[in-house]
Structure 1
Amino acid sequence: MTLKVPCPQCQKAVVWQASSEFRPFCSERCKLLDLGEWADESNKISQPIHADSAITEEMLDAMEDEFLQNNNFFVEPE
């Protein structure tokens, strides 16, 4: 069964598979239009920031450890 999703920009049907280079977008044009909307802040995540939650050093350390475990960007090549 082939899964098709609508392009977030133009709503054209996009086949969801590895060969769909720009998925979930139908084209590079739609991908760049969407990126531009985020860059000029037309799009934004609408969930409010909860200022009453204090972030502790332990929480920051745990987030940093998780980030470093899941991203090989900072790993020195052997």
Structure 2
Amino acid sequence: LSPIDAIPDFLPMFGMLDDIAVLAWVMKTLSGELSAFRAWRDAQRPEKLAVVERLPATPELLARENPQKN
């Protein structure tokens, strides 16, 4: 995962341990973040979610729907 390893990859059996540890940490962190998002989403009213989850098809449509004040 990184060109600078804590344990060089050419060492048999031990070289990939730091890479596996980093990957496990990333997966755990993402899992926690996704769980928090799902809990937030489930707590929202359906009307609010309809507004939050709707996106215009193109950037031009988004700009037309939300004109910035000058």
Flag the structure with larger Rg.
2
Higher strand content, 1 or 2: 1
Asked if Structure 1 and Structure 2 have the same fold, meaning a TM-score greater than 0.5 normalized by the shorter chain, the answer is: no
Tell me the TM-score normalised to structure 2 length: 0.27
Going by fraction, where is helix more abundant, 1 or 2?
2
Alignment TM-score, normalising by the size of structure 1: 0.25
